Amino acid sequence: MSTVKDYRTGRVVGLAATAALGGFLFGYDSAVINGATSAIKAIFGLSDLMIGFVVAIALIGSAVGAWFSGSLADRFGRKRVMLIAAALFLIAAIGQAFPFAVADLMFWRFLGGAGIGVASVMAPMYIAEIAPAEIRGRMGALQQFAIVIGIFATSLVNYLVLQAAGGNARNEWLLGLEAWQWMFLSMIIPAIVYALLVLRIPESPRYLVAIGEPAKASRVLATIYTIDPAPIVKDIETSLAGDHKPRFSDLRGRSLGLMPIVWIGILLSVFQQFVGINAVFYYSNTIWESVGFSESQAFQTSLITTAINVIFTIVAIALVDRVGRKPLLLVGSAGMVLTLATLTYVFGTAPVGSDGQPTLADGPDVVALISFNLYVAFFAATWGPVVWVLLGEMFPNRLRAAALAVAASAQWMANFVVSTTFPELAGTSLGLAYGIFTVFAILSIPFVMKYIRETKGVTLENMGKLEAASV
Protein backbone atom coordinates (compact mmCIF):
# COMPACT_ATOMS: atom_id res chain seq x y z
CA MET A 1 0.00 0.00 0.00
CA SER A 2 2.87 2.36 0.68
CA THR A 3 6.60 2.55 0.22
CA VAL A 4 9.28 4.05 2.43
CA LYS A 5 8.53 7.67 3.31
CA ASP A 6 5.46 8.06 1.12
CA TYR A 7 3.71 9.43 4.18
CA ARG A 8 4.00 12.53 6.34
CA THR A 9 5.50 11.37 9.61
CA GLY A 10 4.66 14.56 11.51
CA ARG A 11 1.01 14.36 10.51
CA VAL A 12 0.74 10.69 11.50
CA VAL A 13 2.43 11.31 14.86
CA GLY A 14 0.13 14.25 15.57
CA LEU A 15 -3.03 12.26 14.86
CA ALA A 16 -1.80 9.20 16.76
CA ALA A 17 -0.69 11.28 19.75
CA THR A 18 -4.10 12.95 19.99
CA ALA A 19 -5.91 9.61 19.92
CA ALA A 20 -3.41 8.23 22.45
CA LEU A 21 -4.38 10.96 24.93
CA GLY A 22 -7.35 8.71 25.60
CA GLY A 23 -4.74 6.29 26.90
CA PHE A 24 -3.37 9.01 29.18
CA LEU A 25 -6.80 9.42 30.76
CA PHE A 26 -7.17 5.64 30.80
CA GLY A 27 -3.95 5.35 32.84
CA TYR A 28 -4.68 8.40 34.99
CA ASP A 29 -8.19 7.32 35.98
CA SER A 30 -7.30 3.67 36.51
CA ALA A 31 -4.38 4.49 38.87
CA VAL A 32 -5.69 7.58 40.70
CA ILE A 33 -7.48 5.35 43.22
CA ASN A 34 -4.09 4.08 44.45
CA GLY A 35 -3.43 7.28 46.39
CA ALA A 36 -6.94 7.49 47.81
CA THR A 37 -7.49 3.84 48.81
CA SER A 38 -6.42 4.17 52.45
CA ALA A 39 -8.50 7.33 52.97
CA ILE A 40 -11.62 5.84 51.38
CA LYS A 41 -11.20 2.65 53.38
CA ALA A 42 -11.02 4.65 56.63
CA ILE A 43 -13.88 7.06 55.79
CA PHE A 44 -16.37 4.33 54.97
CA GLY A 45 -14.99 1.61 57.27
CA LEU A 46 -14.44 -0.87 54.46
CA SER A 47 -13.01 -4.38 54.71
CA ASP A 48 -10.18 -5.58 52.44
CA LEU A 49 -12.72 -7.38 50.29
CA MET A 50 -14.97 -4.33 50.02
CA ILE A 51 -12.19 -1.87 49.17
CA GLY A 52 -11.06 -4.34 46.54
CA PHE A 53 -14.54 -4.22 45.03
CA VAL A 54 -14.68 -0.40 45.17
CA VAL A 55 -11.40 -0.27 43.28
CA ALA A 56 -12.37 -2.98 40.82
CA ILE A 57 -15.93 -1.91 39.98
CA ALA A 58 -14.37 0.58 37.56
CA LEU A 59 -13.19 -2.47 35.64
CA ILE A 60 -16.75 -3.72 35.22
CA GLY A 61 -17.54 -0.31 33.79
CA SER A 62 -14.49 -0.65 31.56
CA ALA A 63 -15.70 -3.99 30.24
CA VAL A 64 -19.15 -2.52 29.52
CA GLY A 65 -17.67 0.56 27.87
CA ALA A 66 -15.33 -1.54 25.74
CA TRP A 67 -18.12 -3.92 24.72
CA PHE A 68 -20.39 -1.19 23.39
CA SER A 69 -17.69 1.08 21.99
CA GLY A 70 -17.14 -1.09 18.91
CA SER A 71 -20.73 -0.91 17.74
CA LEU A 72 -20.94 2.78 18.68
CA ALA A 73 -17.77 3.48 16.68
CA ASP A 74 -19.22 1.75 13.62
CA ARG A 75 -22.48 3.67 13.98
CA PHE A 76 -21.35 7.16 14.98
CA GLY A 77 -17.67 7.27 14.06
CA ARG A 78 -14.42 7.14 16.00
CA LYS A 79 -14.30 10.86 16.85
CA ARG A 80 -17.75 11.09 18.42
CA VAL A 81 -17.10 8.06 20.61
CA MET A 82 -13.76 9.50 21.78
CA LEU A 83 -15.68 12.62 22.84
CA ILE A 84 -18.07 10.42 24.81
CA ALA A 85 -15.06 8.98 26.64
CA ALA A 86 -13.83 12.48 27.50
CA ALA A 87 -17.25 13.40 28.93
CA LEU A 88 -17.34 10.24 31.05
CA PHE A 89 -13.89 10.99 32.48
CA LEU A 90 -14.92 14.54 33.36
CA ILE A 91 -18.15 13.55 35.11
CA ALA A 92 -16.51 10.68 36.98
CA ALA A 93 -13.69 12.90 38.27
CA ILE A 94 -16.18 15.23 39.97
CA GLY A 95 -18.40 12.43 41.23
CA GLN A 96 -15.55 10.44 42.82
CA ALA A 97 -14.29 13.55 44.62
CA PHE A 98 -17.67 14.17 46.31
CA PRO A 99 -19.27 10.82 47.19
CA PHE A 100 -22.15 10.75 49.67
CA ALA A 101 -21.78 7.05 50.39
CA VAL A 102 -20.08 3.92 49.13
CA ALA A 103 -22.93 3.25 46.70
CA ASP A 104 -22.60 6.47 44.72
CA LEU A 105 -18.78 6.29 44.89
CA MET A 106 -19.03 2.91 43.18
CA PHE A 107 -21.40 4.39 40.59
CA TRP A 108 -18.90 7.15 39.73
CA ARG A 109 -16.11 4.57 39.65
CA PHE A 110 -18.22 2.51 37.24
CA LEU A 111 -18.87 5.55 35.05
CA GLY A 112 -15.19 6.47 34.93
CA GLY A 113 -14.44 2.86 34.13
CA ALA A 114 -16.81 3.03 31.17
CA GLY A 115 -14.75 5.95 29.88
CA ILE A 116 -11.59 3.87 30.30
CA GLY A 117 -13.18 1.01 28.37
CA VAL A 118 -14.23 3.27 25.52
CA ALA A 119 -10.78 4.87 25.34
CA SER A 120 -9.09 1.46 25.44
CA VAL A 121 -10.86 0.51 22.20
CA MET A 122 -10.94 3.84 20.39
CA ALA A 123 -7.26 4.79 20.70
CA PRO A 124 -5.74 1.60 19.21
CA MET A 125 -8.50 1.40 16.60
CA TYR A 126 -8.06 4.96 15.37
CA ILE A 127 -4.26 4.79 15.44
CA ALA A 128 -4.17 1.51 13.49
CA GLU A 129 -6.56 2.95 10.91
CA ILE A 130 -4.57 6.10 10.17
CA ALA A 131 -0.98 4.85 10.51
CA PRO A 132 1.05 3.45 7.57
CA ALA A 133 2.16 -0.17 8.04
CA GLU A 134 5.85 0.81 8.33
CA ILE A 135 5.33 2.79 11.54
CA ARG A 136 2.02 1.38 12.76
CA GLY A 137 3.69 -0.52 15.60
CA ARG A 138 5.41 2.56 16.97
CA MET A 139 2.26 4.62 16.61
CA GLY A 140 0.17 1.90 18.26
CA ALA A 141 2.66 1.74 21.12
CA LEU A 142 1.92 5.43 21.78
CA GLN A 143 -1.32 4.19 23.34
CA GLN A 144 0.58 2.27 26.02
CA PHE A 145 3.09 5.11 26.36
CA ALA A 146 0.21 7.48 27.07
CA ILE A 147 -1.23 4.99 29.57
CA VAL A 148 2.02 4.75 31.52
CA ILE A 149 2.52 8.52 31.35
CA GLY A 150 -0.99 8.81 32.81
CA ILE A 151 -0.11 6.34 35.58
CA PHE A 152 3.12 8.22 36.28
CA ALA A 153 1.31 11.57 36.23
CA THR A 154 -1.33 10.44 38.70
CA SER A 155 1.38 8.98 40.97
CA LEU A 156 3.30 12.26 40.85
CA VAL A 157 0.20 14.39 41.39
CA ASN A 158 -0.96 12.15 44.24
CA TYR A 159 2.47 12.37 45.88
CA LEU A 160 2.67 16.17 45.52
CA VAL A 161 -0.86 16.60 46.85
CA LEU A 162 -0.06 14.29 49.76
CA GLN A 163 3.09 16.22 50.64
CA ALA A 164 1.31 19.58 50.33
CA ALA A 165 -1.38 18.29 52.67
CA GLY A 166 1.12 17.23 55.32
CA GLY A 167 1.69 13.61 54.38
CA ASN A 168 -1.83 12.27 55.03
CA ALA A 169 -4.57 11.83 52.40
CA ARG A 170 -7.21 12.67 55.03
CA ASN A 171 -5.74 16.10 55.77
CA GLU A 172 -7.53 19.17 54.45
CA TRP A 173 -5.70 21.11 51.78
CA LEU A 174 -7.26 23.70 49.44
CA LEU A 175 -10.81 25.07 49.76
CA GLY A 176 -11.47 22.85 52.76
CA LEU A 177 -11.24 19.67 50.68
CA GLU A 178 -9.20 16.68 51.77
CA ALA A 179 -6.12 15.63 49.83
CA TRP A 180 -7.72 12.47 48.39
CA GLN A 181 -10.54 14.57 46.86
CA TRP A 182 -8.01 16.73 45.00
CA MET A 183 -6.43 13.55 43.65
CA PHE A 184 -9.68 12.82 41.80
CA LEU A 185 -10.38 16.43 40.82
CA SER A 186 -6.98 16.71 39.13
CA MET A 187 -8.36 14.55 36.31
CA ILE A 188 -10.64 17.35 35.09
CA ILE A 189 -7.86 19.20 33.24
CA PRO A 190 -6.63 16.32 31.02
CA ALA A 191 -10.24 15.34 30.26
CA ILE A 192 -10.97 18.82 28.89
CA VAL A 193 -7.69 18.97 26.94
CA TYR A 194 -8.44 15.57 25.38
CA ALA A 195 -11.91 16.68 24.25
CA LEU A 196 -10.60 19.88 22.69
CA LEU A 197 -7.86 18.06 20.76
CA VAL A 198 -10.19 15.32 19.50
CA LEU A 199 -12.39 18.01 17.97
CA ARG A 200 -9.42 18.98 15.76
CA ILE A 201 -8.61 15.57 14.23
CA PRO A 202 -10.32 14.07 11.16
CA GLU A 203 -12.51 11.00 11.16
CA SER A 204 -10.90 7.63 10.43
CA PRO A 205 -10.67 7.09 6.64
CA ARG A 206 -11.68 3.45 7.06
CA TYR A 207 -14.85 4.50 8.87
CA LEU A 208 -15.59 7.04 6.14
CA VAL A 209 -15.25 4.36 3.46
CA ALA A 210 -17.47 2.04 5.49
CA ILE A 211 -20.30 4.61 5.56
CA GLY A 212 -20.03 5.34 1.85
CA GLU A 213 -17.92 8.50 1.96
CA PRO A 214 -14.85 7.54 -0.13
CA ALA A 215 -14.26 11.15 -1.25
CA LYS A 216 -13.92 12.32 2.36
CA ALA A 217 -11.70 9.34 3.12
CA SER A 218 -9.50 10.28 0.18
CA ARG A 219 -9.14 13.84 1.48
CA VAL A 220 -8.09 12.56 4.92
CA LEU A 221 -5.58 10.12 3.40
CA ALA A 222 -4.17 12.90 1.22
CA THR A 223 -3.12 14.72 4.40
CA ILE A 224 -1.28 11.58 5.57
CA TYR A 225 0.28 10.22 2.37
CA THR A 226 2.35 11.93 -0.29
CA ILE A 227 1.07 9.55 -2.99
CA ASP A 228 -2.27 9.30 -4.75
CA PRO A 229 -4.74 8.03 -2.10
CA ALA A 230 -7.08 6.44 -4.68
CA PRO A 231 -5.43 2.97 -4.57
CA ILE A 232 -5.51 3.06 -0.78
CA VAL A 233 -9.22 3.83 -0.80
CA LYS A 234 -9.74 1.00 -3.28
CA ASP A 235 -7.88 -1.44 -1.00
CA ILE A 236 -10.06 -0.38 1.94
CA GLU A 237 -13.24 -0.81 -0.10
CA THR A 238 -12.13 -4.30 -1.12
CA SER A 239 -11.30 -5.31 2.46
CA LEU A 240 -14.71 -4.05 3.63
CA ALA A 241 -16.60 -5.79 0.83
CA GLY A 242 -19.88 -7.30 2.01
CA ASP A 243 -23.60 -6.79 1.88
CA HIS A 244 -24.07 -5.57 5.45
CA LYS A 245 -22.48 -3.39 8.06
CA PRO A 246 -20.13 -5.13 10.53
CA ARG A 247 -21.84 -6.66 13.57
CA PHE A 248 -21.03 -8.99 16.46
CA SER A 249 -22.58 -11.96 14.66
CA ASP A 250 -19.71 -11.73 12.15
CA LEU A 251 -17.40 -13.02 14.89
CA ARG A 252 -19.12 -16.38 15.12
CA GLY A 253 -17.13 -19.45 14.22
CA ARG A 254 -16.79 -23.13 14.96
CA SER A 255 -14.35 -22.74 17.84
CA LEU A 256 -16.63 -22.51 20.88
CA GLY A 257 -18.88 -20.04 19.10
CA LEU A 258 -16.22 -17.56 17.97
CA MET A 259 -13.70 -17.30 15.16
CA PRO A 260 -10.18 -18.49 16.10
CA ILE A 261 -8.69 -15.02 15.59
CA VAL A 262 -11.19 -13.61 18.12
CA TRP A 263 -10.25 -16.25 20.69
CA ILE A 264 -6.58 -15.41 20.16
CA GLY A 265 -7.34 -11.76 20.87
CA ILE A 266 -9.31 -12.69 23.99
CA LEU A 267 -6.58 -14.95 25.36
CA LEU A 268 -3.90 -12.38 24.56
CA SER A 269 -5.86 -9.88 26.64
CA VAL A 270 -6.39 -12.32 29.50
CA PHE A 271 -2.72 -13.28 29.72
CA GLN A 272 -1.75 -9.60 29.80
CA GLN A 273 -3.82 -9.19 32.96
CA PHE A 274 -3.26 -12.55 34.65
CA VAL A 275 0.48 -11.89 34.99
CA GLY A 276 -0.68 -9.43 37.66
CA ILE A 277 0.48 -6.07 36.37
CA ASN A 278 -2.50 -4.08 37.61
CA ALA A 279 -2.11 -5.48 41.11
CA VAL A 280 1.14 -3.49 41.03
CA PHE A 281 -0.44 -0.20 39.98
CA TYR A 282 -3.68 -0.44 41.98
CA TYR A 283 -2.15 -1.73 45.20
CA SER A 284 1.58 -0.94 45.11
CA ASN A 285 1.29 1.49 48.05
CA THR A 286 -0.62 -1.11 50.06
CA ILE A 287 1.91 -3.84 49.20
CA TRP A 288 4.90 -1.84 50.43
CA GLU A 289 3.10 -0.56 53.53
CA SER A 290 2.18 -4.14 54.40
CA VAL A 291 5.84 -5.17 54.50
CA GLY A 292 6.96 -2.31 56.72
CA PHE A 293 7.27 0.83 54.54
CA SER A 294 5.81 4.11 55.79
CA GLU A 295 3.04 5.79 53.74
CA SER A 296 5.51 8.34 52.38
CA GLN A 297 8.10 5.63 51.53
CA ALA A 298 5.40 3.59 49.79
CA PHE A 299 4.44 6.61 47.66
CA GLN A 300 8.09 7.23 46.74
CA THR A 301 8.62 3.57 45.83
CA SER A 302 5.49 3.55 43.67
CA LEU A 303 6.64 6.72 41.94
CA ILE A 304 9.95 5.06 41.03
CA THR A 305 8.06 2.05 39.68
CA THR A 306 5.83 4.18 37.47
CA ALA A 307 8.90 6.05 36.16
CA ILE A 308 10.47 2.72 35.19
CA ASN A 309 7.20 1.85 33.47
CA VAL A 310 7.48 4.99 31.35
CA ILE A 311 11.16 4.50 30.47
CA PHE A 312 10.76 0.92 29.30
CA THR A 313 7.64 1.71 27.30
CA ILE A 314 9.89 4.02 25.28
CA VAL A 315 12.13 0.99 24.72
CA ALA A 316 9.13 -0.86 23.31
CA ILE A 317 8.32 2.01 20.94
CA ALA A 318 11.89 1.88 19.63
CA LEU A 319 11.85 -1.90 19.11
CA VAL A 320 8.33 -2.94 18.07
CA ASP A 321 8.72 -2.17 14.35
CA ARG A 322 12.33 -3.43 14.25
CA VAL A 323 12.26 -6.60 16.32
CA GLY A 324 8.60 -7.44 15.78
CA ARG A 325 5.66 -8.18 18.05
CA LYS A 326 6.12 -11.90 18.70
CA PRO A 327 9.81 -11.83 19.77
CA LEU A 328 9.10 -9.02 22.22
CA LEU A 329 6.23 -10.97 23.79
CA LEU A 330 8.45 -14.03 24.25
CA VAL A 331 11.26 -12.02 25.84
CA GLY A 332 8.76 -10.32 28.13
CA SER A 333 7.22 -13.61 29.22
CA ALA A 334 10.63 -15.10 30.05
CA GLY A 335 11.65 -12.01 32.02
CA MET A 336 8.40 -11.94 33.97
CA VAL A 337 8.72 -15.64 34.84
CA LEU A 338 12.14 -15.03 36.43
CA THR A 339 11.18 -11.86 38.31
CA LEU A 340 7.78 -13.09 39.50
CA ALA A 341 9.32 -16.37 40.66
CA THR A 342 11.86 -14.36 42.67
CA LEU A 343 9.11 -12.28 44.28
CA THR A 344 7.18 -15.47 45.05
CA TYR A 345 10.22 -16.88 46.86
CA VAL A 346 11.06 -13.66 48.75
CA PHE A 347 7.51 -12.99 49.95
CA GLY A 348 6.80 -16.68 50.54
CA THR A 349 9.86 -17.27 52.74
CA ALA A 350 9.92 -13.97 54.64
CA PRO A 351 9.14 -14.13 58.38
CA VAL A 352 5.55 -13.22 59.24
CA GLY A 353 4.91 -10.33 61.61
CA SER A 354 2.17 -9.96 64.24
CA ASP A 355 -0.18 -8.56 61.59
CA GLY A 356 0.11 -11.74 59.54
CA GLN A 357 2.12 -10.03 56.78
CA PRO A 358 5.69 -10.87 55.69
CA THR A 359 8.39 -8.63 57.11
CA LEU A 360 11.29 -7.91 54.77
CA ALA A 361 14.64 -7.48 56.48
CA ASP A 362 17.76 -5.86 55.00
CA GLY A 363 18.74 -7.89 51.95
CA PRO A 364 15.40 -9.44 51.01
CA ASP A 365 13.82 -5.98 50.81
CA VAL A 366 16.43 -4.93 48.23
CA VAL A 367 15.91 -8.16 46.26
CA ALA A 368 12.14 -7.59 46.33
CA LEU A 369 12.47 -3.98 45.16
CA ILE A 370 14.83 -4.90 42.32
CA SER A 371 12.72 -7.87 41.19
CA PHE A 372 9.52 -5.83 41.45
CA ASN A 373 10.89 -3.08 39.23
CA LEU A 374 12.52 -5.50 36.76
CA TYR A 375 9.15 -7.22 36.43
CA VAL A 376 7.56 -3.88 35.57
CA ALA A 377 10.40 -3.16 33.11
CA PHE A 378 9.91 -6.47 31.27
CA PHE A 379 6.16 -5.91 31.08
CA ALA A 380 6.48 -2.29 29.97
CA ALA A 381 8.93 -3.12 27.18
CA THR A 382 6.84 -5.99 25.84
CA TRP A 383 3.37 -7.14 26.91
CA GLY A 384 2.12 -3.70 27.93
CA PRO A 385 2.33 -1.94 24.55
CA VAL A 386 2.57 -4.93 22.21
CA VAL A 387 -0.83 -6.34 23.19
CA TRP A 388 -2.51 -3.03 22.38
CA VAL A 389 -0.60 -2.82 19.09
CA LEU A 390 -1.74 -6.34 18.15
CA LEU A 391 -5.35 -5.76 19.19
CA GLY A 392 -5.48 -2.64 17.06
CA GLU A 393 -4.09 -4.34 13.96
CA MET A 394 -4.56 -8.13 14.07
CA PHE A 395 -8.22 -8.22 13.05
CA PRO A 396 -9.39 -7.79 9.43
CA ASN A 397 -11.09 -4.48 8.58
CA ARG A 398 -14.56 -6.02 8.45
CA LEU A 399 -14.20 -7.40 12.00
CA ARG A 400 -11.98 -4.85 13.71
CA ALA A 401 -14.47 -2.80 15.70
CA ALA A 402 -16.48 -5.77 16.98
CA ALA A 403 -13.49 -8.06 17.61
CA LEU A 404 -11.47 -5.36 19.36
CA ALA A 405 -14.46 -4.56 21.56
CA VAL A 406 -14.81 -8.21 22.59
CA ALA A 407 -11.07 -8.63 23.25
CA ALA A 408 -10.87 -5.38 25.24
CA SER A 409 -13.93 -6.39 27.28
CA ALA A 410 -12.24 -9.69 28.08
CA GLN A 411 -9.16 -7.77 29.18
CA TRP A 412 -11.16 -5.64 31.58
CA MET A 413 -12.98 -8.65 33.02
CA ALA A 414 -9.64 -10.37 33.58
CA ASN A 415 -8.39 -7.16 35.20
CA PHE A 416 -11.48 -7.23 37.44
CA VAL A 417 -10.75 -10.78 38.55
CA VAL A 418 -7.14 -9.93 39.43
CA SER A 419 -8.04 -6.69 41.21
CA THR A 420 -10.87 -8.10 43.32
CA THR A 421 -9.01 -11.22 44.39
CA PHE A 422 -5.59 -9.67 45.01
CA PRO A 423 -6.35 -8.01 48.40
CA GLU A 424 -7.64 -11.31 49.80
CA LEU A 425 -4.78 -13.30 48.25
CA ALA A 426 -2.22 -10.80 49.50
CA GLY A 427 -3.83 -10.84 52.95
CA THR A 428 -3.44 -14.61 53.00
CA SER A 429 0.00 -14.78 51.39
CA LEU A 430 1.84 -12.42 49.06
CA GLY A 431 3.90 -15.43 48.04
CA LEU A 432 0.75 -17.24 46.91
CA ALA A 433 -0.45 -14.21 44.93
CA TYR A 434 2.83 -13.85 43.06
CA GLY A 435 3.06 -17.60 42.59
CA ILE A 436 -0.23 -17.52 40.65
CA PHE A 437 1.05 -14.67 38.49
CA THR A 438 4.21 -16.71 37.82
CA VAL A 439 2.17 -19.66 36.55
CA PHE A 440 0.33 -17.50 34.02
CA ALA A 441 3.60 -15.93 32.86
CA ILE A 442 4.88 -19.47 32.20
CA LEU A 443 1.71 -20.44 30.31
CA SER A 444 1.93 -17.33 28.12
CA ILE A 445 5.10 -18.65 26.44
CA PRO A 446 3.59 -21.67 24.61
CA PHE A 447 0.50 -19.58 23.80
CA VAL A 448 2.57 -16.92 22.03
CA MET A 449 4.76 -19.49 20.27
CA LYS A 450 1.79 -21.39 18.83
CA TYR A 451 -0.90 -18.81 18.17
CA ILE A 452 0.54 -15.33 17.68
CA ARG A 453 1.31 -14.41 14.06
CA GLU A 454 3.83 -11.66 13.35
CA THR A 455 2.08 -8.54 12.00
CA LYS A 456 5.13 -6.30 11.56
CA GLY A 457 4.88 -4.48 8.21
CA VAL A 458 1.58 -6.12 7.19
CA THR A 459 -1.06 -3.68 5.93
CA LEU A 460 -4.46 -3.69 7.63
CA GLU A 461 -6.04 -4.69 4.33
CA ASN A 462 -3.93 -7.88 4.31
CA MET A 463 -4.68 -8.98 7.86
CA GLY A 464 -7.25 -11.43 6.52
CA LYS A 465 -4.42 -13.59 5.21
CA LEU A 466 -2.93 -13.85 8.70
CA GLU A 467 -6.39 -14.65 10.02
CA ALA A 468 -6.58 -17.61 7.68
CA ALA A 469 -3.09 -18.72 8.69
CA SER A 470 -4.02 -18.71 12.38
CA VAL A 471 -6.94 -21.11 11.93
Q: Is residue 263 part of a domain?
A: yes
Query: Which range, of 26-40, 105-119, 244-258, averages the lowest pLDDT?
Result: 244-258
Kindly state whether residue 128 falls inside one of the protein's structural domains: yes
Tell whether the model's pLDDT for residue 44 goes beyond 50: yes
Predicted confidence band of residue 244 (pLDDT cuts 50, 70, 90): very low
62 located within any domain: yes
Q: CA angle, corner 179, sides to 173 and 184, nearest 5?
A: 125
Average pLDDT, the chain: 85
Quick one: how far is CA 355 from the chain centroid? 34
Strand partners, 225: 7
Q: What is the pLDDT of residue 464?
A: 58
The pLDDT score that the predictor gives to residue 4 is: 47
Contact between residue 116 and residue 24 where contact means Cβ atoms under 8 Å apart: no
Q: How many domains does the chain have?
A: 1
Q: Which residues contact 119 (CB under 8 A, 6 or more apart)?
A: 22, 23, 25, 26, 82, 85, 89
Percent of residues, the chain, with pLDDT higher than 70: 86
pLDDT tens across 353-377, in order? 655 566 665 556 778 888 888 999 9
Report the C-alpha gap between 138 and 98 in whole angstroms: 39
252 part of a folded domain: yes
Q: Is the pLDDT assigned to residue 67 strictly greater than 80? A: yes
Provide the CA 338 distance to its chain's centre, in angstroms: 23
Q: Where is average pLDDT lowest: 66-80, 140-154, 229-243, 430-444?
A: 229-243
pLDDT in tens, 430-466: 788 889 999 999 999 999 999 998 888 877 766 655 5
What's phi and psi for 293, nearest 5 deg? -80, 150
**Residue 226 in domain:** no
Q: What is the CATH number of the domain that holds 135?
A: 1.20.1250.20
User: Is the pLDDT at 469 greater than 70, yes or no?
Assistant: no
Residue 316 lies in a domain: yes
Q: Which positions ≥6 away from 280 have C-beta within 8 Å? A: 287, 305, 372, 375, 376
Question: b/e string for 173-184 if b means 16 or more Cβ within 10 A?
Answer: beeeebbbbbbb
User: Per the domain annotation, does 307 fall within a domain?
Assistant: yes
- 211 falls within a domain: no
**Can you give the residue range of the structural domain that contains 440?**
9-201+242-469
- Which of 324, 312, 326, 346 has the alpha carbon at shortest distance from 438? 346
pTM of the model: 0.77
Which CB contacts under 8 angstroms, 24+ apart, belong to 416-420? 416/56, 416/59, 416/60, 416/63, 417/273, 417/274, 418/273, 418/274, 418/276, 418/278, 418/279, 419/52, 419/55, 419/56, 419/59, 419/278, 419/279, 419/282, 420/52, 420/53, 420/56
- CA–CA separation, 170 and 253 (whole Å): 53
